[in-house]
Amino acid sequence: MVLRIALSLLGLAALLIGGMIFVIGPDATGQIFAAALRVALPETPQLDGLVGADVDSEMRFYAVLWMAYGGVAMWVVRALPKRMNLLRAMLGVFWLGGVGRVLSYFAVGAPHPLFLVLMWVEIALPPVLIALSYQGGKAPSD
């Protein structure tokens, strides 16, 4: 049940955030989430760097892929445990996205705290969910 809820929330978040980036752009989307983070952590600095034609174009392109990920996640949830192997693969992809953020951190420095929070979620959550996916035994073949 925890696994189903977590994957549903991940899928809905991907659909929502991807849709926001696609429709209102990455800067407006980032500002909304940075403002929410400032409620919890008032010392959070202003979010800069998500402006400009190149960033906007690239982020709106990737937003469609993020929405597709969310849609597939929702499809997988509807047929668990039958699609458990696909769930694990999707969580692996999600984890690799977090690894990309870690590489960026070491290559060019620390990003805005919002992206640090996302990095830690992307690194910590998939292993926990993959471990939960094995609690009920081996999944049937996809």
Q: Where are the beta strands (DSSP E) in the chain?
A: none
pLDDT in tens, 66-114: 999 999 999 999 999 999 999 999 999 999 999 999 999 999 999 999 9
CB 86 within 8 A of CB 139: no
The model's confidence at residue 138, banded by pLDDT at 50, 70 and 90, is low
Residue 5's contacts (CB-CB under 8 Å, 6 or more residues apart) are: none
- In this prediction the pTM is 0.89
Give the three-state DSSP class for 112. coil
